[in-house]
Amino acid sequence: MHDPRRRGPTRTEAASPYEGERIAKVLARAGVCSRRDAERLIAEGRVTVDGEVLTSPALNVTARNLIEVGGRPIEPAEETRVWRFNKPPGTITAARDPQGRPTVFDALPEDMPRVVAVGRLDFNTEGLLLLTNDGELARFLELPRNGLTRRYRVRVNGDIDLRRMASLSNGVTISGVRYGPVKIEVERSEGQNHWLSVTIQEGKNREVRNIMTHLGLKVSRLVRVEYGPFSLGRLPRGAVEEVPQRVLHRSLKEFFSKKGRG
C-alpha cells in the first residue's frame, strides 16, 4: 500500500547525514533524544522504520526510510551549528544544578535552539565555551584522542620555576592522574603575580588548576581563550555568538586536513 509520506530522496536528501547511520545516531541528530534514550525508546517498541516496530538498535537507516517515534515522523536533522559563549565565572556547565547555582544555559537567549556544551568549564573558570546543536560533533571535539588543544590564560601568584614548567612538555602524573603534554609560557610578571599561557590537549577535570598547584602556584583567574580552531576573541563576558557557516566549515576542514583526516 502506498504511503503518501514516503518518497524517493531528493538531491538534498541524498546528501543527508542519515545516510547509512545507526538508528540511535539518527534520532539523536534529529534532536529527538540522546543515543541512550533512543535505545530505551526502541526497547519500549515506540520506534518504527517503514511501518515496522523496531526491536533492536542494531540497524542502519538512510534518508529513504520513514522513521517514526510514537507514531510521528521525525524531523530532518538540522544543519550543524556552533556558537561561542563567553562563560562568566560563578556559573555551572549543566542544564540544571541541585544546589540552585546559575547555569550557563540560564544566560542564553530565549530564541536559542536546543544545544549541548562541548566539554565543561569549572564553576569559577571563565572564557570560551562552545555550544552546538550537534551532539556527535560535541563528542568528537571533546575526545582527547582527536587532539584539539585548549589554551588558557591563567593569573597566578607564586615563584616561577621555568625549568620545572618546561619539564611538563612531556606530561606529568599528579596524585595518580596522568596528564598529557603541557605547554606553559609566561606572558608578563609583576613581582610574584604572573599571567601565563597554558596549552593542554586533554581537558581533564580541573587539569589546569591541578597543574598550577603542582607547580606551587595559586590561581586567581582562569580564562579559556582557545578550543581547537575556535577562539574567544573579543566576545564580551556573558555574550553568545554563532560561528558563521563558512567559518565553521573552513575551520573544521583545516583541522581535519592537519590531522590527516581531510
Instruction: Yes or no: say if 149 and 208 are a contact pair by the CB < 8 Å rule.
Output: no
**From CA 241, how far away is CA 244, in angstroms rounded?**
9
Q: Is 106 considered catalytic here?
A: no
* Burial grade of 110 (CB within 10 A; 0-12, 13-18, 19 or more): exposed
CA torsion sign for 135, 82, 116, 184 is positive
- Name the amino acid, one letter, at 20: G
> Terminus-to-terminus CA distance in the chain, angstroms?
44
Catalytic residue among 3, 50, 111, 122: 122
Inter-CA distances, 83 with 100, 242, 250, 256, Å: 25, 4, 15, 19
**From CA 193, how far away is CA 187, in angstroms rounded?**
11
CA torsion sign for 201, 205, 209, 211 is negative
Active site residues: 122
